[in-house]
Amino acid sequence: MAIKDLQNLMWNGAILSGGLSIVARVHARQAWKRFEAALADAHAQDTGDRLYQRDWDFRYWHGIGLWTAGLSILCSGVWLMSRLIYL
């Protein structure tokens, strides 16, 4: 029974982290677009250090997206191996 619980936990972890990865990548893309727009607007007016903040937002969301995608792959691999070993 414990193996079945582990399989369910890994499957749920793979689905959840995969979904979070997609959401984080969408946020990273939107942050990147805002950063590009701020760069284009920076020539017209002084924006201070807002550009750095927007750059950090992109890197933050990009890192979360990559980390959760890796977690999803890891959980999927463990789930698949447990299914193959314990049919």
53 pLDDT more than 90: no
The band of 44, judged by pLDDT with boundaries at 50, 70 and 90, is low
Predicted confidence (pLDDT) at residue 47 exceeds the cutoff of 80: no
Confidence of residue 62 (pLDDT cuts 50, 70, 90): very high
Q: How far apart are CA 20 and CA 84, in angstroms?
A: 27
Domain extent at residue 18: 2-85
The packing angle between helices 50-85 and 2-42, to 10°, is 160
Of 60, 39, 63, give the one whose Cα is nearest residue 50.
Answer: 39
What's the pLDDT score for residue 3?
85
* Count of domains for the chain: 1
